Amino acid sequence: MLKKSGILFVLLIMVLAACAKQEEPNTSVEPAAESDEEETKEHDTGEEQLEEKKQEVEKEEADEKEEDSHSPFDVSAPNVSAPDVEAPEVSAPEISAPEVTVSQEGEEVIINMPDHLLFDFDESMLREDARVLLEEISSELEQYEAADISIHGHTDNQGDAAYNQQLSQKRAEAVETYLLEEQGLDQFSFSTKGFGEREPAAPNDNEENRAKNRRVEMIIIPKEA
């Protein structure tokens, strides 16, 4: 009986020992697993933070670009186009007097008036009928808004050269005075010059040619409006 009880006691001790062993925590494996999981979570969290930061930077850059596009200070160069500028159309005046010739050289218009249409022999005062001719020329000049007008007096080679030069100057000034004071053409810029016998239009070898040299020329140079 005692022997049987001893065996049972030993078995009881072995069962208790086995139970106690099963209840002991596995400290060698489970902590390692938990550590790996924590490292994985920390790694994932770091990547998420970097991605979020990158998205925030990209959003800020996009917002800055949008603000610049709507900036009230537009410094772009304006679209400037040069205005169209056309040269004034120049046409030669039409004069009814057949002895008056009108020619055109480029933009210059030259009106050639024989002196006997304007002055008596050896005179620098305008004839009465000369005023009719100059009035007609004045009306033709109205087609120009502005112009430089040079009036040149010329003579033949008969008589004293100094006297001829002085006479040609006075005749040019007489024409200018009439156009300014009588016709009121003050929108033009006038100038006068007497050449005397220095610039003949033909040889002074006969009366017909000398008549060609006794003349008053009006050179018109229109200005752009």
The CATH number of residue 188's host domain is 3.30.1330.60
Position 75 pLDDT exceeds 70: no
Alpha carbons 206 and 202: distance in angstroms, whole number:
10
Q: What is the pLDDT of residue 29?
A: 44
Provide the domain count of the chain: 1
Alpha carbons 84 and 88: distance in angstroms, whole number:
13
For residue 175, give the nearest of 133, 210, 121, 143 by alpha carbon.
133
Position 189 pLDDT exceeds 70: yes
Domain that holds residue 181: 101-222
For residue 209, being part of any structural domain is answered with yes
For residue 203, being part of any structural domain is answered with yes
For residue 68, being part of any structural domain is answered with no
For residue 42, being part of any structural domain is answered with no
Confidence of residue 90 (pLDDT cuts 50, 70, 90): low
For residue 200, being part of any structural domain is answered with yes
Alpha carbons 188 and 22: distance in angstroms, whole number:
128
DSSP state of 179: I
Position 225 pLDDT exceeds 70: no
Confidence of residue 59 (pLDDT cuts 50, 70, 90): confident
For residue 57, being part of any structural domain is answered with no
Q: What is the mean pLDDT of residues 170-175?
A: 97
Write down the H helix ranges in the chain.
Answer: 2-23, 30-69, 128-141, 161-177, 207-213
For residue 33, being part of any structural domain is answered with no
Position 63 pLDDT exceeds 80: no
Q: Tokens 């009108």 appear where?
A: 102
For residue 63, being part of any structural domain is answered with no
Position 44 pLDDT exceeds 70: no
Alpha carbons 152 and 154: distance in angstroms, whole number:
7
Q: What is the mean pLDDT of residues 5-31?
A: 61
Query: What percentage of the chain exceeds 70 in pLDDT?
Result: 67
